[in-house]
Structure 1
Amino acid sequence: MSGLQRPVGIQVGAWVRFAAQVRAVVGVTARTVTLTDTEAGQRVVAVEDLTGEADFAVIDIPVRMPLPASSRLETFPAKAVEKALWWEGHILEVLHGRPPEAGPDTTPRPEYGLDRSLTARQRAKAAELTAAGTKVSASAVANLRRRYQAEGVLGLVDHRQAAKRPEFGSVDERVVTAMRTAIGEAVDASTRTGSFILWRTGEILRETSGTEDLEVPSERTLYRLLAKLTDGTHTFSAASTRRSKAHGAKAPFGELPAFAPGEVMQIDSTPLDVMVLLDDGVPGRVELTAMIDVATRTLTAAVLRPTTKSVDASVLLARTVTPELMRPGWADVLRMSRSVLPHRRLLSLDERLEHAAARPVIVPEMIVCDHGKAFISRNFKSSCRFLEIDFQPAHKGSGFEKGHIESMLGSVATLFVQFLPGYTGRSADHRSRHPERERIWSLLELQELLDEWIVAHWQNRPHDGLRDPAHPGRLFTPNQKYAALVEACGYVPVALTGDDYVELLPSDWRAVNDYGIRVKNRIYDSPDLTPLRRQDSGIRAKRGLWEVHRDPYDVSQIWVRDHRTDGRRWIQATWKQLHRAPVPFGDLAWDHVSHQMPGSTEAEIADAVASLLTRAHAGPAGEPKPKATRRDRRVAARTKAAGPSTPLPAQATDEPAPAPEPEAEEKLADVIPLGLFDPLEDPWRRR
């Protein structure tokens, strides 16, 4: 090997003895070393000349001191920290010849000069401290110096003064393990008290290791240990919360990125914490089913129903991709044309947005839901396939996988429901004495209020999850985020047509007879059914029957698919007895009355149902009404609540109604009756 190799101890910052002087190394190359010089400032010396000198020696090699962990010093007593800082000043004088408070021009004392070895300086420091009253040996100074160079000032602290206590004190580890096992068994069990956990802990100890050589702590110590082990586990609180906490994700929570409206949407339902007047003074609870867009936090649709069914989930899906129209009584500022949404650009794509409210229309690409029967039903899955939506159920017991909709449902309770009369709170412990006695809203009125609240408040409320990445202090509202993402990703919403709406309704298979189509003892007919009467549909799997779609909450009409053509044409048929019961009602009321009168004709059943709804709607005021059973009131209330929001035209009668006397001279507006709801008709098409 070459003799010109640089010695290991020579490095920038080292102190060497050369030509009877102590010099600092300021530069090192493969063949030369740059040293400080009292006359010329710097002197370049060849490596072989430097190492060939008789008095050459490496006096001091600089050691990079660790960064001071000042925060860890706070865990020690003040006296221990003060003593460590006192030792630091003396150790720095041993290492560099000058104390830390000395200036750069201060000349080191002779006994700590850099021309002396490190060992000699340590001996001098030990002698100095001993003479001052602090008895210490040179080896102790050397140990402190090495610890200081390795750990910094923390190496000079007496760690015995900050010794950590064991996590569970002096309790035997076997007792801790047994109690952890007992707590783990209680996760999926019913909620019990702490005394049962302590008893079960003793049983586990006897089954596993025995108690002969085990010192069991006192009951008070065991209760302190139980409190520490059950902290945050909800062992003695609600069982649902405990299971959700125990079976949740153990790894850090991930996030499904969503950069465009509709890329990821979530749907869920929950009981609404408010009493609702269903009908005839019958208060009850309803369920809220809602869908939220993850990218914009837009609440695309929310439906209130007595019980959530698969058809409700499909109707919710239809409302998500349908514009929300302005309604009478809504403030003009709620129009989409008055909002931050790109109304002019969207209006060129869909003319129906001209009269729409400020709620975006979003077409889902993926829907995340739980395993509720309404969402994993064949009807809802077929609706998702029909709209080419990726259906993604979450894992069982993993509510965190759809945390956005869970948080939204909780926000509805705090931001809207608690302001309503009849608010029940989240549990019986938070409920008033008689919430049903308050002046509560009807279901239809509450649905109107909820729809208006979504447009007016939710869509214009800054959301904590919608922040500008470049300016985290700025929050967006759902409408603002939607407008920004439309500009960024070029999103184009495509709303449902009337045919699409009918496709989402549940289907039956029926024969088309001379009198029409019979569905649950109701007969529907239309002149357009004439070519289909007593004809075979050609569907062998259904024995030649015809596909019929119907709305279970509105028995006034049905739609028949024309299988003779391409299968895309629908024929609308109306109930023949609609004039006897102009108020639409659902299957629940029909089945209830038909079971009471199994031998009655269709006309008699229709009259009975109409009479039931009339008695239920009349309320306690007015003339005495026939006594209705509790079952009658419940069926009528749920049927009235589940009815469509579109009113039907009043039927003409032979006897003119008496005109009420006006209380004040006020000009009334002309009343224009609405026709039957026809989803196949597009009222916004160009004429």
Structure 2
Amino acid sequence: MTTLEIGAKLLSTDGYLVVTALRRHTVSVEGSAGERQDLAYDEISAIAIQDGRADATLTALQPWWSGLPNAVRRNALDRLEVVLEVLTGYRWGSARLAQPGEPHPPFGDSEMSIHSRCVEMARQLSYEQSVDRNVLRRVQDGELAAATVSPKTVNNWIRSWQTDGLRGLVDKRAVKSARGFAAIDERVRRIADDVLARFDGDISKVNTTTIEADIRLQMKAEGLADVVLPQRLFQEYLSERQRALGRNTRAQRSRHLRRKASAHTSFPAMHPSHIAIDATRADVLVWDELRERPVSVEILTAISVATRVVVGLRVTPRSGNALEAGLLLYDVMRPMTMLVEGTTVDDWRWCGVPESLDLSNVPVHRSPKRIVPPGQSLQGIHFKPGVRPSSIRCDHGSVFLSEHFIALLRDFGIDLMLSRGSKPTDNPHVERFHETLQRAYQAIPGFKGRNVAERGRKVDASGEALLTAAELERHLRRFVALDYHRSWHEGLVLPGAPSARLTPLEMWDAMHEVTGRLHVPQHPDLIYQFLPIRWLTIGHAGVEYKNLTYDAPVLADFRNVRKGTFQADSRKAPFHYDPRDVSRIWFRRPDTGRIHEIPWKARHWLDMPMGDWMHERALSRIAERGGNAALNRKSTWRQIIAELGQLTSAEETAEARAKGYAARLRWEQAQRDHAEAAEAAAMFDGDQDGVVTPLRPLRAEGDDGFDIDAEWPDYDEDGD
């Protein structure tokens, strides 16, 4: 705080003012020339000046004066004292502010010319600088040419003060800043930015001269040819913009993607039902048992973003399709268990017997006591929780944008949240889990590394047999249940306890205490809600689809339904269709809601995988042999069977072999899925022991347990 009193000095644009009187509304001041004026109190700013040489300043000097560096302000005040002493004989410009001994001769002598006073002041200043070590050091370092001040310099200070006041005494070189790019015409900068925006890594890098030529051509096209460009500043602008793009095309591409996909906020996943899904190539080879060769597969993963629990995982052929993406969603919705007994670990399976058609009142076991803590025994049941997703985060893959997958999301009321293009970090949680899978891959034969730099000369150098796709899926699910779900996840932070170490399942339980549950009706027929529907007409011979006829006793009551029973103005009925296994379709009775399998009539003739791809290949081969005219109802079955045999045994191209393996792998997955659902249905009907084991054969009605394919014993002549 500065005290304003009579005799205090004020710094103004014209020099120092001295306070002569303090009135109610104004302050009377006197200038160096004796002029008097009254100032309002709000015209005075209470800011102390350097070394107490000014008690306050006028508001007119702010904020310019306060924004100057201290050294610049001190230098300007030194020059002001020189100017005022030359003109008035007093360093502060007023006899009221006279210092001891002022005025010093020859200053204050009105008979002496201004030039003579400037010569005398220059002599004094030169002497002061000659004994100032700081000035001499600057001369020695080359900052100053000499330690003297010329009379012309002093005269120039006086002229600058008379013209611009205090502003004229500020050293312009000390406050001179670099010329900003704003000096370049805004229209020219826009054109330059548009030209430079093309360099996103897709086109080759060119030099600055070529870029400037393109800019000037565009300026001419827009009528800006007469705009004057500061050449040096413009070259600096282009160089700076090019540096920001990247030094090569690879850097330009990377920076372009980062700029395009930058985000300022994260997705607030506050509920376990926020699911992220993605597909990735497995970094391990699997074994094709039929052709006895290694092949690659993909991993479809669904992860709860808020808890990091893996709620779905499937091994699929490359590349996964929309049906498999829908079945991954099926895995997300059903709770499953994994039992460890001794050294035996089973597959994920249904946890418990459904008590009713709607199992929403049956709780999913989630007690932390059931989760085996690290360091203790693994024996017992491990749970994979199920949840109905409220949102799905995925990329723009064709399988996730397919009509079938989007229809499933619409039916279940699930929001589809697509990542932005070229932005894999929009889905970082599942991408990071792909790295975690490396621990699972490295524990089995056939690991090939994440890239060629990590790959050995022989992937199968260990000599161990590769796993099949089904075995790989079991291995990964075991890894998730017994390792990943029980390990500390650094990305899980509990509010209020940031140092707490949480596993994904523990975070799941903690969140469900607050959020509650999104129940899914756990009916054994749930899987059929994820299969496509075909509308077919039920006739006396059954149902015909793609030249195949399906029939079962359950259709007897629906062979002569009236129009509109299932579909408006039509006698067609809905059938669930699995492209992975076309040897059967499924029909849901409207009166009971139960699913019934409708087999292909000639299914007993075929003992090999029959998926949609193989069926289509068979039909195409038949068409090549004679077209539609060569086909009829009586010959179709036998021809398809014959062609399927040829397809299996014939030498095919690499692409055909890959498609054939994919078709067989999908068929095997279909057998596991439907066998599991059939056994769960048998449990529902009370015909089983309450344990669902994938691919455990069901005993048909009238089966006496005799296996005709088993090895027969040798009998002697007496029948013993």
Shift of 1:547: 0.9
Q: How do 1:196-275 residues align onto structure 2 when only pairs under 5 Å count?
A: 199-208=210-219, 228-231=243-246, 235-236=249-250, 241=254, 244-249=257-262, 253-262=264-273, 264-275=274-285
SS of 1:573's equivalent? Answer: strand
Larger CA deviation: 504-513 vs 276-285: 276-285
Shift of 1:365: 1.2
2:325 to 297, 313, 321: 313
Residues of 1 paired with 2:415 and 2:275: CA distance? Answer: 10
2:360 aligned with 1:360, yes or no?
no
SS of 2:481's equivalent? Answer: helix
Gapped regions of structure 2 (runs ≥ 5) = 7-22, 25-44, 51-68, 75-95, 104-123, 136-147, 158-169, 349-359, 371-379, 624-630, 691-720
> Are 2:527 and 2:677, in contact at CA under 8 Å, matched by a contact in 1?
no
2:496 aligned with 1:482, yes or no?
no
SS of 1:185's equivalent? Answer: coil
Q: Between Structure 1 and Structure 2, how many residues are aligned?
A: 543
Query: Could you tell me which residue of structure 2 aligns to residue 21 of structure 1?
Result: none
Shift of 1:314: 1.3
Residues of 1 paired with 2:418 and 2:236: CA distance? Answer: 46
Shift of 1:593: 3.0
> Are 1:526 and 1:574, in contact at CA under 8 Å, matched by a contact in 2?
yes
TM (norm. structure 1) is 0.61
Superimposed CA distance per residue, residues 85-136 of structure 1 (whole angstroms, 9 cap, x where no aligned partner): 99999xxxxxxxxxxxxxxxxxxxxxxxxxxx99869x99xx9995974799
Q: How do 1:545-556 residues align onto structure 2 when only pairs under 5 Å count?
A: 545-556=572-583
Superimposed CA distance per residue, residues 6-63 of structure 1 (whole angstroms, 9 cap, x where no aligned partner): xxxxxx895989xxxxxxxxxxxxxxxxxxxxxxxxxxxxx99xxxxxxxxxxxx986
Give the RMSD, CA atoms, in angstroms: 6.0
Shift of 1:542: 6.9
2:292 aligned with 1:281, yes or no?
yes
SS of 2:382's equivalent? Answer: coil
Q: Residues 427 and 183 of structure 1: is their aligned pair in 2 closer, same or farther, counting only changes over 3 Å?
A: farther
Q: Residues 383 and 329 of structure 1: is their aligned pair in 2 closer, same or farther, counting only changes over 3 Å?
A: farther
Query: Could you tell me which residue of structure 2 aligns to residue 191 of structure 1?
Result: 202
Identical aligned residues as a percent: 21
Query: Could you tell me which residue of structure 2 aligns to residue 98 of structure 1?
Result: none
Query: Could you tell me which residue of structure 2 aligns to residue 42 of structure 1?
Result: none
Residues of 2 paired with 1:199 and 1:475: CA distance? Answer: 57
Query: Could you tell me which residue of structure 1 aligns to residue 400 of structure 2?
Result: 375
Q: Which amino acid aligns with 1:573?
A: I
Q: Residues 430 and 245 of structure 1: is their aligned pair in 2 closer, same or farther, counting only changes over 3 Å?
A: farther
> Are 1:584 and 1:643, in contact at CA under 8 Å, matched by a contact in 2?
yes
Residues of 2 paired with 1:424 and 1:193: CA distance? Answer: 34
Q: Residues 272 and 374 of structure 1: is their aligned pair in 2 closer, same or farther, counting only changes over 3 Å?
A: same
Shift of 1:445: 2.3
> Are 1:266 and 1:367, in contact at CA under 8 Å, matched by a contact in 2?
yes
> Are 1:511 and 1:534, in contact at CA under 8 Å, matched by a contact in 2?
no
2:605 aligned with 1:591, yes or no?
no
Q: Which amino acid aligns with 1:531?
A: D
Residues of 1 paired with 2:321 and 2:249: CA distance? Answer: 34
Q: Residues 362 and 238 of structure 1: is their aligned pair in 2 closer, same or farther, counting only changes over 3 Å?
A: farther
Shift of 1:318: 0.7
Residues of 2 paired with 1:185 and 1:237: CA distance? Answer: 14
Query: Could you tell me which residue of structure 1 aligns to residue 416 of structure 2?
Result: 391
Q: Which amino acid aligns with 1:317?
A: L
Q: Computing the radius of gyration over CA atoms, which structure comes out larger, 1 or 2?
A: 2
SS of 1:205's equivalent? Answer: helix
Shift of 1:183: 3.2
Residues of 1 paired with 2:342 and 2:520: CA distance? Answer: 26
> Are 2:245 and 2:255, in contact at CA under 8 Å, matched by a contact in 1?
no
Residues of 2 paired with 1:434 and 1:206: CA distance? Answer: 57
Q: How do 1:599-618 residues align onto structure 2 when only pairs under 5 Å count?
A: 601-603=636-638, 605-606=640-641, 609=644
Q: How do 1:118-129 residues align onto structure 2 when only pairs under 5 Å count?
A: none
SS of 1:678's equivalent? Answer: helix
Shift of 1:405: 4.6
Q: Which amino acid aligns with 1:315?
A: L
Q: Which amino acid aligns with 1:411?
A: E
Larger CA deviation: 373-382 vs 592-601: 592-601
1:349 to 355, 363, 366: 363
Shift of 1:494: 3.2
Gapped regions of structure 1 (runs ≥ 5) = 1-11, 18-46, 49-60, 67-83, 90-116, 141-155, 337-345, 616-625, 649-673
Shift of 1:165: 9.3
Query: Could you tell me which residue of structure 2 aligns to residue 665 of structure 1?
Result: none
Residues of 1 paired with 2:659 and 2:210: CA distance? Answer: 50
Shift of 1:316: 0.9
> Are 2:337 and 2:381, in contact at CA under 8 Å, matched by a contact in 1?
yes
Q: Which amino acid aligns with 1:553?
A: R
Q: Residues 456 and 328 of structure 1: is their aligned pair in 2 closer, same or farther, counting only changes over 3 Å?
A: closer
Superimposed CA distance per residue, residues 479-531 of structure 1 (whole angstroms, 9 cap, x where no aligned partner): 22111112223335435322332121111122223343333333333222222
Query: Could you tell me which residue of structure 2 aligns to residue 491 of structure 1?
Result: 517
Larger CA deviation: 407-416 vs 381-390: 407-416
Residues of 1 paired with 2:198 and 2:561: CA distance? Answer: 64
